[in-house]
């Protein structure tokens, strides 16, 4: 086992190509693509105009049609006053209109601000004010949440109707696509109306180090903060994943993971557009329609949470031929059950290849080789990317196999946090002649150079892939007049991996008057649904650490032990 520093200061296995299991045909670095991320769409539409870009509830859209609508929307946005570098909020479920909106904003030299459709009006107002976005593109189910923000937070809002791009005879539409058409309302413009104006797209000016995407992340304290990602970094991630997964214009890829999240945005959408592959889009996850969908479109690449795979295997109508076209199955966020791992391998020759990335790295920094994946493993640092495990206090590299904080350096690492210089200084450090991101994740490297996580230095809760920061939830719970103290922690969940649990101390005069369900109902009015506590426990007092801070670690350990 190699455990010492190399003479040039590079720690063993700092780069993936040092691993004996690195794909032998791959270089350690690939050429940076440069330019605007929208150039990928222009290139694919030029090379494969008639080829399918998207499949959506019985409808098929070609690359030529996709580029046409992207350029028309880009032209409309500019005509409405969007200038180079202006931010645009996109708040949509997965749908073809999301792809159109995303690339149209980039094509108009703007910056995409992707947000979760579960966000409340107050959360949306915060994102608008913090990012400075005055434009938004939203789904029809969100009109009530955005109505109070018209003319206050946003000057222009484009609304889309999901069913507009589905086949007229589609029978498996989710409820959100069966809504009655919304009535015209002041401050909102229908996407169809904007496209019908057929405005010409502007010159493509933004690229390289210009901002492309501002996704929101959070630390352990305070409000969410936006990660500044350039065109160069985002386009690199798309190109890297195309090469790693051996994707091309004949690939058919799923787009079931949320596109507002960097994993769905880059691993499926941006990678597919980069190489001219076809995307299968689904607005609401429904395992029961997957067997017929897979037989029809024959996907070759599927990014899935383990619970998705389990659900599909148990779905009515599932037969072995449903997976016969798959070449790659990837994902993460939770452990795949061992019995499912064996069935995938023995029946279809599939090996679930997990990956790792953060909002701060706009998706992948580590991926498992598709021919040599390890379970519950981040994988190897990908092309052009360095990673090491360091002592959280001294930042000295840890010996191989020892626990420490995972640090990452590469072109996909953010430029910093938007308007947060202090947070940027804490997250990005200079070491060994490189700039590194402190991930806050505790892990180690094995003898083959594969990285593993064993714990979090941050308090993040991961529920079905949604990242939840307890301090934000606690801040909102404190606005309840009966809450004297609270601690938000994780508890194990057999389906979601983790669930949100709130331990609450009530004011003495409120004890016996407020129930657990009262707190949960209140939380639903204050925060997105995935952040709402699933469990509430009342206590007379919270445990304290030696420094008199609330000992959330003790509460969390107790919750996990109790469920175990």
Whole-model pTM: value is 0.86
Q: Are 260 and 467 in contact (CB under 8 A)?
A: no
Residue carrying structure tokens 């998207």: 54
- Sign of the CA dihedral 273, 274, 280, 284? negative
Within 13 A of 261's CA, how many CA atoms are on the CB side?
16
Q: Which domains are present in the chain?
A: 38-284 (3.40.50.980), 352-456 (2.30.38.10), 462-563 (3.30.300.30)
DSSP 120: -
Q: Are 130 and 124 in contact (CB under 8 A)?
A: no
452: Cβ contacts below 8 Å, ≥ 6 apart: 376, 377, 378, 443, 444, 445, 446
String of DSSP letters for 400-456: TT--EEEEEESTTS-SEETT-HHHHHHHEEEETTEEEEEEEEEEEE-TTS-EEEEEE
Report H helices in 143-276. Answer: 143-146, 191-196, 231-244, 262, 271-275
Can you give the pLDDT at residue 548? Answer: 59
Can you give the pLDDT at residue 183? Answer: 84
Can you give the pLDDT at residue 453? Answer: 86
Q: Could you read off the pLDDT tens digit of each residue along the chain, which spans 564 residues?
A: 333 344 445 577 899 999 999 998 999 999 999 999 999 999 999 999 999 999 999 999 999 999 999 999 999 999 999 999 999 999 999 999 999 999 999 999 999 999 999 999 999 999 999 999 999 999 999 999 999 999 999 999 999 999 999 999 988 899 999 988 888 888 899 999 999 999 999 999 999 999 999 999 864 446 899 999 999 999 999 999 999 999 999 999 999 999 999 999 999 999 999 999 999 999 999 999 999 999 999 999 999 988 889 899 999 999 999 999 999 999 876 667 778 888 999 999 999 999 999 999 998 999 999 999 998 899 999 999 999 999 988 999 998 998 899 999 999 999 999 999 999 999 999 998 999 999 998 889 999 999 998 766 767 788 888 878 787 888 899 889 999 889 999 999 988 889 999 999 999 999 999 999 999 999 999 999 999 999 999 999 999 865 457 888 889 989 998 876
C-alpha span between 427 and 417 (Å, rounded): 9
In angstroms, the Cα distances linking 241 to 244, 274, 314, 367 are: 5, 10, 30, 9
- DSSP run (H or E) holding 87: strand 87-91
In angstroms, the Cα distances linking 528 to 118, 139, 193, 263, 282 are: 5, 16, 30, 20, 21
C-alpha span between 241 and 246 (Å, rounded): 8
C-alpha span between 101 and 114 (Å, rounded): 10
Query: How are the residues of the chain apportioned to helix, strand and coil, as percentages rounded to the nearest 5?
Result: 35, 25, 40
Give per-residue pLDDT as tens, 142-153. 999 999 999 999
DSSP H helix total and E strand total for the chain: 16, 28
């Amino acid at each position: 086992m190699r455990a010492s520093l190399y003479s040039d200061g590079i720690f063993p296995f700092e780069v993936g190509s040092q691993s004996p299991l690195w794909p032998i045909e791959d270089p350690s670095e690939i050429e940076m693509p440069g330019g605007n991320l929208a150039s990928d769409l222009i290139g694919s539409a030029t090379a494969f105009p008639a080829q399918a870009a998207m499949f959506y509830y019985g409808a098929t859209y070609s690359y030529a049609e996709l580029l046409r609508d992207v350029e028309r929307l880009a032209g409309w946005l500019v005509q409405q006053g969007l200038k180079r570098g202006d931010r645009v909020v996109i708040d949509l479920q997965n749908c073809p209109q999301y792809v159109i909106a995303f690339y149209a904003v980039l094509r108009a030299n703007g910056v995409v601000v992707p947000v979760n459709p579960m966000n409340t009006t107050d959360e949306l107002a915060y994102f608008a004010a913090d990012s400075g976005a005055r434009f938004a593109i939203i789904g029809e189910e969100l009109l009530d949440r955005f109505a109070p923000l018209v003319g206050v937070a946003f000057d222009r809002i484009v609304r889309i109707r999901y069913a507009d791009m589905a086949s007229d005879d589609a029978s498996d539409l989710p409820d959100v696509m069966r809504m009655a058409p919304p009535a015209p309302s002041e401050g909102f413009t229908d996407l169809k109306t904007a496209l019908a104006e057929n405005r010409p797209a502007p010159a493509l000016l933004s690229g390289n180090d210009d901002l492309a995407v501002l996704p929101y992340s959070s630390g352990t304290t305070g409000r969410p903060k936006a990660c500044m990602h350039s065109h160069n970094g985002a386009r690199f991630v798309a190109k890297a994943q195309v090469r790693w997964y051996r994707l091309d214009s004949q690939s058919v890829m799923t787009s079931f993971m949320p596109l507002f999240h960097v994993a769905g945005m880059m691993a499926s959408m941006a990678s597919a557009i980069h190489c001219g592959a076809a995307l299968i889009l689904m607005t609401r996850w429904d395992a029961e329609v997957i067997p017929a969908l897979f037989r029809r479109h024959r996907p070759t690449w599927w990014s899935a949470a383990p619970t998705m795979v389990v659900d599909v295997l148990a779905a009515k109508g599932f037969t072995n031929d449903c997976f016969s076209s798959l070449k790659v199955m990837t994902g993460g966020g939770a452990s795949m059950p061992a019995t499912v791992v064996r069935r995938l391998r023995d029946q279809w020759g599939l090996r679930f290849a997990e990956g790792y990335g953060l909002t701060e790295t706009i998706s992948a920094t580590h991926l498992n080789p598709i021919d040599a994946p390890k379970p519950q493993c981040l994988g190897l640092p990908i092309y052009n990317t360095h990673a090491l495990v360091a002592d959280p206090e001294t930042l000295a590299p840890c010996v191989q196999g020892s626990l420490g904080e995972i640090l990452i350096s590469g072109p996909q690492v953010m430029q910093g946090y938007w308007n947060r210089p202090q947070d940027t200084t804490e997250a990005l450090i200079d070491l060994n002649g490189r700039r590194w991101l402190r991930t806050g994740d505790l892990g180690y490297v094995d003898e083959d150079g594969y990285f593993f996580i064993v714990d979090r230095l941050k308090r993040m809760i991961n529920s079905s892939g949604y990242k939840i920061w307890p301090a934000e939830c606690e801040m909102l719970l404190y606005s309840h007049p009966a809450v004297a103290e609270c601690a938000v922690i994780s508890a194990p969940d057999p389906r979601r991996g983790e669930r949100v649990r709130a331990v609450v101390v009530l004011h003495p005069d409120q004890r016996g008057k407020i129930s657990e369900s009262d707190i949960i109902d209140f939380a639903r009015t204050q925060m997105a649904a995935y952040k709402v506590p699933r469990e509430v426990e009342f206590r007379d007092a919270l445990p304290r650490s030696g420094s008199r801070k609330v000992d959330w670690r003790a509460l969390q350990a107790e919750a996990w032990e109790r469920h175990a």
